[in-house]
Amino acid sequence: MTTRVLLVAADRQAREGYLQAVAESEIACETLESLEGLRRTLEKTAFNGLLLDLPTLVRSDAAAKKLVSKVQDIYPTVRLRWLPERQQVRAIVAGGQLDPGAPLTDFIDRYCRPWRARPLRQAQRMTTYFSVLLSNRPDFPPEATEKTNTLDLSEGGCFIISSSPWEVGSRAWVRIMELDDDTPMEVEVRMHRPWGAGKKLPGLGVAFLNLLPGQRMRVEALLGGKGLGQRK
């Protein structure tokens, strides 16, 4: 099946530069000149990833930026800047590093191809109670590691039950023991619910920053009904 990505870039020269950079990857690349049609395009077409021009994103309104924040938790996403004086692409992906010589090719091969394409409307969240190790350090020292459980799981992240204080925007590391590959995953805290708030379980909503291909495919299999859990 052909890998399909969506490129959003307002500047014509930058857009053409990005398209030239992905030409050798033999993928399908649709383009938008603004974020205005992003939701509509994602809802009608299945994509494997998003290519977002950073200047276009910066000039967008708050609603568009909020949508980008949502969809980048669902799709592999790279932020781009075109350097016209060098005829080069600079690319940034959350939680990882790309080949500086061919960043878009690297992003497509390592992030987009292993990820099953889907339209936005199919994004779903599944109730799960997986065993998790949670830490603010990547080496998981006992004094800074909490044994807990997830409450739900989605393609882009999960909610982890915890009464510990966490700051939104901070980084954490988790190991989900039910995954075949429980390699530590770096996550970003997107929301925090303190103990006693709203008569709901306390915890933190996190976005995955560096899922390995095997972990991503396992999450997809679980959400597709091939594992334990209840879809919402």
Give the model's pLDDT for residue 225. 60
Q: What is the pLDDT of residues 102-112, one digit of tens each?
A: 999 999 998 89
Does one domain contain both 149 and 181? yes
Does one domain contain both 86 and 167? no
Does one domain contain both 114 and 166? no
189 contact partners, CB below 8 Å, separation of at least 6 = 166, 167, 168, 169, 170, 171, 172, 204, 205, 206
pTM of the model: 0.57
Give the model's pLDDT for residue 121. 64
Cα 180 to Cα 32, 155, 183, 230: the distances in Å are: 38, 16, 9, 19
> 79-83, 87-91, 110-114: which range is least confident on average?
110-114
Domain count, the chain: 2
What's the domain range around 75? 4-121
Q: Tell which wins on pLDDT, 116 or 30.
A: 30
Does one domain contain both 100 and 205? no
Q: What CATH number does the domain containing 145 carry?
A: 2.40.10.220
Q: What is the pLDDT of residues 9-62, one digit of tens each?
A: 999 999 999 999 999 899 999 999 999 989 999 989 999 999 999 999 999 999
Q: Tell which wins on pLDDT, 74 or 62.
A: 62
215 contact partners, CB below 8 Å, separation of at least 6 = 179, 181, 183, 185
Does one domain contain both 114 and 210? no
Q: What is the pLDDT of residues 156-183, one digit of tens each?
A: 889 999 999 998 888 999 999 988 888 9
Q: Which of 77, 96, 121 is the last residue before a domain boundary?
A: 121
Does one domain contain both 200 and 94? no
Does one domain contain both 25 and 89? yes
Mean of per-residue pLDDT scores for the chain: 88
